[in-house]
A and B are shown apart, each in its own frame.
Chain A
Amino acid sequence: MIARLIARDLRRGFTGGAWLPIAFFLLVAALMPFAIGPDAPVLARIGPGALWIAALTAALLPVERLIEPDRADGVLDQLFLHGAADESVAAATLVAHWLSFGPLLLIAAIPASALLAMDAPSLARTEVALAIGTPGLAALAVAIAAVTAGLPRAGSLAGLLLLPLAVPLLIFGAANAFLLEGAFSLLLTAGAPFVAGAAIRASRT
């Protein structure tokens, strides 16, 4: 059941939803030279930070489609009745979400770095930082999607909740403090299924 759920989410992601955050990420990166000016040394200096801001905002986009459609359509109830724990469902959602978000973002970071005149070592460090940080970002998105599922104005609320919680990832990731970033990303990834599972259970009233 869990494997079928991951397969379903991946099919849905790659036939539609997964490309939007990536397009958004590239668009934000493309806006930077317009906003800052075409001065290559300045762009190269702010490049890694700009990519992080783009990644954070891109992580927000899918929040509303992660949990809420399945809650409203009774899929979460049926999964529970088929014996899947809410935590397992949340973990499956997290795995599928990262697979359709993380790798694409890492690939999109290559053209984005060219737009920002970043050199190869700087790109490599940012790629490592994003590879470590995106599981944490995906986990945050799933947990917050579950907490806000069914609420009015869930999208805006999710932004207010997600961005502050992602600040440690941003600080350690942009500073290339990989161990600290990894620790925080791991904490988010390990904790999110339990937070999301509890939120799904609490939504059944």
Chain B
Amino acid sequence: MSALLRFEGVTLRRGGRLLFENLGLLLGPGERLQVTGPNGSGKSSLIRLAAGLLRHEAGRIERAPLALADDAVALDRELPLRRALQFWNPGTDALETTGLDALAEVPVRLLSSGQLKRATLARVAASGAALWLLDEPLNALDADGAAGLSKLIADHLRGGGAVLAASHQPLPGAWPTLELGR
């Protein structure tokens, strides 16, 4: 079994502040992990580090092809939702899995924050990447959206993918947790 994400002795410092030190974690196919901790404990930084968007001070990180959903929408606001999503994943359509079918022709700038969150999750689902990195995936989602998210994640894990999610609130389902900031 090959790891989709592996941290070995990773130390991260941002703005002179030590966020975590000598951190190890391993995510294989079908595995999930929730990063918890109070505000400012480095959850988002851990996600961005796993994505390769930040540089660590020490240690080793190996990662499979990945997709990231964070608070940044990264969709063309003037385009209808379907075309905006196709900028990232041409030829795919993840709208029906996230309950966004009815909004396919609505310009992105008119969507609510919960709908935008679903759209970023749809982008991740359409990416085909084995490793999903989700930063606060429940933010702005209603109960229906949260149920859709658990189904997306369950399908992804069944298909041999892995999910690393950072959230300060409990995620639906049974998640092993990694607590930061203790």
Q: Tell me if B142 counts as interface (CB < 8 A to partner A).
A: no
Number of residues of chain B lying within 8 A (CB) of chain A: 21
Q: Does B58 contact A (CB under 8 A)?
A: no
Docked pose: A80 CA to B68 CA in angstroms? 11
| B residues 35-57 touching A (CB-CB < 8 Å) | 48, 51-54
Known: A73-B72, A81-B66, A81-B67. A204 touches B53 (CB 8 A): yes
Q: How many Å lie between the Cα of A72 and that of B71 in the bound state?
A: 11
> What are the residues of chain A within 8 A of B71 when measuring CB–CB?
74
For B54, the chain A residues whose CB sits under 8 A away are 204-205
Rounded to whole Å, the gap between the CB of B158 and the closest CB of chain A is 24
Q: Which residues of B contact A4 (CB under 8 A)?
A: 87, 90
Report Cα–Cα, A4/B88, bound state, in Å.
9
- Which chain B residues lie closer than 8 Å to A72 at the CB level? 72
* A159–chain B nearest beta-carbon distance, Å: 27
Taken together as a complex, chains A and B put the C-alpha atoms of A111 and B53 apart, in Å, by 48
B78 close to A (CB within 8 Å): yes
Q: Contacting B87 at CB < 8 Å: which of A8, A73, A80?
A: A8
Query: How many of chain A's residues touch chain B, expressed as a range?
Result: 10 to 19
- Interface residues of chain A: helix, strand, loop or mixed (majority): helix
B76 touches A8 (CB 8 A): yes
Known: A81-B52, A205-B54. A73 touches B78 (CB 8 A): no
Q: Which of B14, B67, B74, B90 makes the CB contact (< 8 A) with A74?
A: B74
Contacts of A156 in B (CB 8 A): none
**B73 to chain A: which residues have CB within 8 Å?**
73-74
A61-84 Cβ-contact flags toward B at 8 Å (1 or 0): 000000000001111011011100
Interface residues of B in 54-102 (CB under 8 A from A): 54, 66-68, 70-76, 78, 87-88, 90
23 contacts across the A-B interface (CB closer than 8 A): A4-B90, A8-B87, A12-B78, A15-B78, A72-B72, A73-B72, A73-B73, A73-B74, A74-B71, A74-B72, A74-B74, A77-B51, A77-B68, A78-B68, A78-B72, A78-B74, A80-B52, A81-B51, A81-B67, A81-B68, A204-B48, A205-B15, A205-B54
**What would 11 more interface pairs be, CB under 8 Å, given A73-B75, A74-B74?**
A8-B76, A72-B72, A73-B73, A74-B70, A77-B53, A77-B68, A77-B74, A78-B72, A78-B88, A81-B67, A205-B54
4 tightest A-B CB contacts, nearest first: A74-B72, A74-B74, A78-B74, A75-B74
